[in-house]
């Protein structure tokens, strides 16, 4: 219950108390014979009315007591949890299934049936490590449950608990067998027939997402500032944000990709004033501003040095904010120059994003300020109006109104979150910016909650990332110490990628078009992958040499391994249709140990995707991609896909292994696609 709702209840109670006492008074009068008794009917009516009111009053008073004791929200008695239906038939699974989630369901059923009296017993499931001795997955609930039982004076030990769970585990087509090991671990072995079925589905239908509830997700990313440099920090936000959108879109969520451009604020006053002086005909002739940064610097210099100019700049802000057409036109011209520059970067990297800058929230800032004031949430502080995230005044407050009456970044983000909750009806609110803005977003979240904009489990998710460093481990700069222009950086990537391909003699074997495609895939792919493959929260060192290395966890290595897999099928001259027909007729079986190992890695794709969609750490997906590639190499070393005679003629085709190659390629391609990296069939 919110504070406002409690207030309402209290008022209602007071009103009813009044009514009840009025009736009581009436009754007393009647009893005392102060008023004429007009018959039984009236008395009866009053009496029942009085009873009813007393009853409702008691309910309301109780509700208030519960609320104030902090027990609200917790239902007195726990509703029995609805248990998900378990998979009983392999054929009901059409492709993608999140194995660990299904195992959680299976073991939840087992544990609740083994220990029905335990409230909320822990369901701990993990992937077993690399050692096949520990099974494929493990259920590690026994230790914790044994502790819980001991606390209830039940004598037991983890192994006994594990055995109990094992005995109560319902049969599942996913599980081949289980065993209790060590101190009470439950090792789970995945059923091969089930795996073969799921992998065949991938071969037939492609890589499909696991079914999830469709959410509306707002992703705020890239978001550079007009007239200022779009720097490597924005590049990180752009790359990470794009991938986040792709993961969520793959899961069929309704994703709104927003570019929260810094396109509003007092800096436009000086830019417009400078524009008027430099290009007096700007209304009829488009001003040839090629370097907006230089233009910004010039106007800033004048602003700092020239009092007259400063005054005019302020006047321009007022006129712009009151919406005077000439000023809006000038502002638009300036924004256009920047937007065109940004678009060049987006086009190269194939980023889809909708521009919706701070200016969009202008009128909404007025209303949010009004609302916060009315709710009594703003406090005056040396001429400005601030808002604290919590009543205890911990942390840093937002500055909602500056002492000159203007609004701030804080004000615009309060208006923004309200718009996204109430107008966009979002379920998730994601903001991708450098880690330095963590406190800002934590405070926006807290204030939005205090203001009743964010409710219950709704939350603002700040996806923070570290800074980009140069190879000298210092802030990424050009040799002369300037900030690196993103377009120049992309150009250098192109050049380096071409050098690399030439070094490997690829220009000799590829057509010019193929070479160009490979060059772009490598250049942009390596920049994106280098960013995404590191835990985003850490700083990372930008090094073309490292990212273009064809050994190790790099885009180049992975793109190469994909083309190699693709070439296996090409060399075998077996088409996908033939593979499918073969699978239809003979089924798909994994017999060699290395095949089975690869198959199990491929089965984990939905699990990895669900994890990434939850915590928004993309490096997990990169690690998985690298793992596929390594396990594939192991498989390919041990298992022939075709056999040739001395003349090089194909004498035997291992169809099942070619199917595994095809499935591997499909899963890898999907990973690349989600990372926003283009693949090529030849490079």
Instruction: Please report how close the Cβ of residue 372 comes to ligand ARG at its closest, in angstroms.
Output: 18
What would the two tokens of residue 311 be?
Answer: 């005054």
Distance of CA 188 to the CA centre of its chain: 31
- Cα separation, 198 vs 195, whole angstroms: 5
Backbone angles phi, psi at 679, to 5 degrees: -105, 160
Q: Which of 102, 196, 220, 662 binds ligand ARG (CB under 6 A)?
A: 220
- Cα separation, 384 vs 378, whole angstroms: 10
CB 400 within 8 A of CB 381: no
Instruction: Please report how close the Cβ of residue 225 comes to ligand ARG at its closest, in angstroms.
Output: 5
Task: Give the x/- contact pattern for ligand ARG in 260-289, rule: CB under 6 A.
Answer: x-x---------------------------
Is 410 one of the binding residues for ligand ARG (CB under 6 A)? no
Q: Which is nearer to ligand ARG, 50 or 433 (CB)?
A: 433
Helix/strand/coil percentages in the chain, nearest 5: 55, 10, 35
DSSP symbols for 138-163 = EE--HHHHHHHHHHTT----HHHHHH
Instruction: Please report how close the Cβ of residue 289 comes to ligand ARG at its closest, in angstroms.
Output: 21
Question: Cα 475–481–484 angle (5° rounding)?
Answer: 70
Q: Which is nearer to ligand ARG, 234 or 312 (CB)?
A: 234
Q: Which of 96, 138, 169, 433 binds ligand ARG (CB under 6 A)?
A: 433
Question: 187 - beta bridge partners?
Answer: 138, 179
Q: Which is nearer to ligand ARG, 102 or 413 (CB)?
A: 413
CB 125 within 8 A of CB 104: yes
DSSP symbols for 427-491 = SEEEEEEEGGGHHHHHHHHHHHHHTTSS-TT--EEEEEE--EE-TTSSB---TTSPPPPHHHHHH
DSSP symbols for 378-397 = -EEETTEEEE-SSTT--S--
Q: Which stretch binds ligand ARG (CB under 6 A): 221-229, 243-251, 505-513, 626-634?
A: 221-229
Instruction: Please report how close the Cβ of residue 259 comes to ligand ARG at its closest, in angstroms.
Output: 9
Q: Which is nearer to ligand ARG, 225 or 629 (CB)?
A: 225
Is 225 one of the binding residues for ligand ARG (CB under 6 A)? yes
Instruction: Please report how close the Cβ of residue 438 comes to ligand ARG at its closest, in angstroms.
Output: 12
CB 678 within 8 A of CB 521: yes
Instruction: Please report how close the Cβ of residue 578 comes to ligand ARG at its closest, in angstroms.
Output: 51
Instruction: Please report how close the Cβ of residue 489 comes to ligand ARG at its closest, in angstroms.
Output: 18
Q: Which stretch binds ligand ARG (CB under 6 A): 217-225, 285-293, 494-502, 543-551?
A: 217-225
Instruction: Please report how close the Cβ of residue 236 comes to ligand ARG at its closest, in angstroms.
Output: 11
DSSP symbols for 35-93 = S----HHHHHHHHHHHHHHHHHHHHHHHHHHHHHTT-TTS-SSPPPPPPPPPP--GGG-
DSSP annotation of 222 reads: -
Instruction: Please report how close the Cβ of residue 294 comes to ligand ARG at its closest, in angstroms.
Output: 20
Q: Which is nearer to ligand ARG, 411 or 533 (CB)?
A: 411
Q: Which is nearer to ligand ARG, 351 or 559 (CB)?
A: 351
Q: Which is nearer to ligand ARG, 461 or 669 (CB)?
A: 461
Q: Which is nearer to ligand ARG, 229 or 595 (CB)?
A: 229
Q: Which is nearer to ligand ARG, 268 or 655 (CB)?
A: 268
The helix/strand/coil state of 186 is strand
Q: Which of 185, 388, 431, 476 binds ligand ARG (CB under 6 A)?
A: 431
Q: How many CA atoms lie within 13 A of 458 on its CB side?
A: 24
Is 238 one of the binding residues for ligand ARG (CB under 6 A)? no
Q: Which is nearer to ligand ARG, 185 or 264 (CB)?
A: 264
Q: Which is nearer to ligand ARG, 410 or 595 (CB)?
A: 410
Instruction: Please report how close the Cβ of residue 437 comes to ligand ARG at its closest, in angstroms.
Output: 7
- Cα separation, 182 vs 134, whole angstroms: 10
Instruction: Please report how close the Cβ of residue 344 comes to ligand ARG at its closest, in angstroms.
Output: 18
Q: Which is nearer to ligand ARG, 410 or 520 (CB)?
A: 410
Q: Which stretch binds ligand ARG (CB under 6 A): 36-44, 72-80, 223-231, 360-368?
A: 223-231
- Cα separation, 565 vs 659, whole angstroms: 11
What would the two tokens of residue 605 be?
Answer: 């794709």
Task: Give the x/- contact pattern for ligand ARG in 160-199, rule: CB under 6 A.
Answer: ----------------------------------------
- Cα separation, 258 vs 256, whole angstroms: 6
Instruction: Please report how close the Cβ of residue 458 comes to ligand ARG at its closest, in angstroms.
Output: 16
Count Cβ atoms within 10 A of the Cβ of residue 413 and give its class: 0-12 exposed, 13-18 middle, 19 or more buried. buried
Instruction: Please report how close the Cβ of residue 443 comes to ligand ARG at its closest, in angstroms.
Output: 12
Is 416 one of the binding residues for ligand ARG (CB under 6 A)? yes
Q: Is 588 left (phi over 0), alpha (psi -120 to 50) or beta?
A: beta
Q: Which is nearer to ligand ARG, 223 or 411 (CB)?
A: 223
Q: Which is nearer to ligand ARG, 108 or 263 (CB)?
A: 263
- Cα separation, 93 vs 195, whole angstroms: 11
The helix/strand/coil state of 216 is strand
Task: Give the x/- contact pattern for ligand ARG in 491-530, rule: CB under 6 A.
Answer: ----------------------------------------
- Cα separation, 157 vs 477, whole angstroms: 60
Q: Which is nearer to ligand ARG, 465 or 624 (CB)?
A: 465
How many chain residues are in contact with ligand ARG, going by CB under 6 A? 10
Instruction: Please report how close the Cβ of residue 409 comes to ligand ARG at its closest, in angstroms.
Output: 7
- Cα separation, 541 vs 468, whole angstroms: 6
In the region spanning residues 367 to 406, those forming contacts with ligand ARG, defined by CB under 6 A, are none
Q: Which stretch binds ligand ARG (CB under 6 A): 53-61, 172-180, 219-227, 304-312?
A: 219-227
Is 413 one of the binding residues for ligand ARG (CB under 6 A)? yes
Q: What does the binding site for ligand ARG look like in residue numbers (CB under 6 A)? A: 220, 223-225, 260, 262, 413, 416, 431, 433
């Amino acid at each position: 219950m919110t504070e406002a709702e409690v207030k309402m209840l209290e008022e209602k109670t007071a009103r009813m108390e009044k009514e009840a006492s009025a009736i009581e008074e009436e009754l007393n009068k009647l009893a005392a014979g102060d008023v004429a008794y007009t018959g039984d009917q009236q008395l009866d009516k009053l009496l029942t009315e009085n009873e009813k009111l007393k009853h409702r009053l008691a309910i309301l008073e109780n509700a208030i007591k519960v609320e104030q004791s902090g027990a609200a929200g917790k239902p007195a008695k726990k509703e029995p949890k609805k248990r998900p239906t378990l998979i009983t038939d392999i054929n009901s699974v059409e492709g993608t299934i999140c194995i660990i989630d299904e195992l959680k369901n299976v073991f939840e059923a087992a544990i609740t049936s083994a220990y029905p009296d335990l409230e909320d017993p822990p369901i701990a499931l993990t992937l077993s490590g690399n050692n096949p001795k520990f099974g494929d997955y493990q259920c590690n609930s026994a230790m914790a449950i044994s502790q819980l039982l001991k606390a209830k004076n039940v004598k037991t030990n983890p192994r006994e608990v594990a055995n109990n769970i094992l005995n109560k585990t319902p049969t599942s087509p996913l599980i081949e067998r289980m065993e209790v090991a060590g101190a009470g671990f439950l090792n789970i072995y995945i059923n091969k027939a089930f795996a073969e079925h799921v992998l065949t589905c991938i071969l037939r239908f492609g890589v499909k997402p696991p079914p999830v509830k469709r959410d509306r997700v707002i992703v705020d990313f890239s978001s550079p500032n007009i007239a200022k440099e779009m720097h490597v920090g924005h590049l990180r936000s752009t790359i990470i944000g794009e991938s986040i959108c792709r993961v969520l879109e793959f899961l069929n969520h309704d994703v709104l990709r927003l570019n929260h451009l810094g396109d509003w604020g007092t800096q436009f006053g000086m830019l417009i004033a400078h524009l008027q002086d430099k290009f007096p005909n700007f209304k009829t002739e488009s001003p040839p501003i090629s370097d907006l940064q230089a233009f910004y610097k010039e106007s800033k210099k004048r602003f700092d040095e020239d009092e007259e100019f400063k005054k005019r700049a302020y006047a321009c802000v007022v006129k712009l904010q009151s919406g005077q057409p000439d000023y809006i036109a000038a502002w638009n011209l300036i924004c256009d120059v920047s937007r065109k520059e940004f678009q060049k970067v987006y086009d190269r990297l194939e980023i889809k994003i909708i521009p919706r800058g701070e200016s969009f929230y202008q009128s909404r800032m007025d209303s949010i300020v009004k609302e916060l004031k009315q709710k009594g949430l703003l406090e005056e502080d040396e001429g400005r109006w601030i808002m604290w995230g919590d009543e205890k005044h911990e942390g840093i407050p937002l500055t909602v109104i500056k002492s000159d009456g203007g609004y701030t970044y804080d004000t615009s983000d309060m208006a923004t979150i309200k718009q996204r909750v109430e107008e966009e009806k979002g379920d998730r609110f994601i903001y991708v910016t450098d880690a330095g803005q963590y406190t800002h977003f934590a405070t926006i979240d807290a204030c939005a909650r205090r203001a009743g904009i964010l409710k219950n489990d709704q939350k603002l998710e700040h996806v923070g990332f570290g800074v980009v460093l140069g190879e000298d481990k210092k802030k990424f700069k050009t040799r002369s110490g300037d900030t690196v222009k993103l377009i120049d950086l992309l150009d250098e990537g192109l050049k380096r990628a071409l050098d690399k391909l030439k070094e490997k003699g690829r220009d000799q074997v590829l057509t010019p078009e193929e070479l160009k495609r490979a060059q772009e895939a490598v250049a942009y792919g390596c920049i994106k992958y280098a960013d995404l493959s590191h835990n985003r929260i850490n700083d990372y060192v930008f090094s073309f040499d490292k990212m273009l290395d064809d050994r190790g966890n790099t885009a180049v290595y992975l793109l190469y391994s994909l083309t190699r897999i693709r070439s296996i099928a090409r060399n075998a001259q077996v088409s996908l249709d033939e593979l499918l027909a073969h699978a239809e007729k003979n089924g798909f079986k994994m017999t060699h140990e290395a095949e089975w190992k690869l198959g199990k890695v491929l089965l984990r794709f939905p699990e990895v995707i669900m994890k990434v969609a939850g915590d928004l750490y993309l490096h997990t997906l990169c690690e998985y991609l690298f793992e596929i590639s390594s396990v594939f190499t192991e498989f390919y070393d041990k298992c022939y896909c075709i056999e040739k005679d001395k003349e090089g003629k194909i004498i035997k085709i291992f169809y099942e292994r070619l199917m595994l190659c095809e499935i591997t390629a499909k899963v890898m391609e999907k990973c690349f696609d989600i990372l926003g990296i283009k693949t090529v069939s030849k490079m």
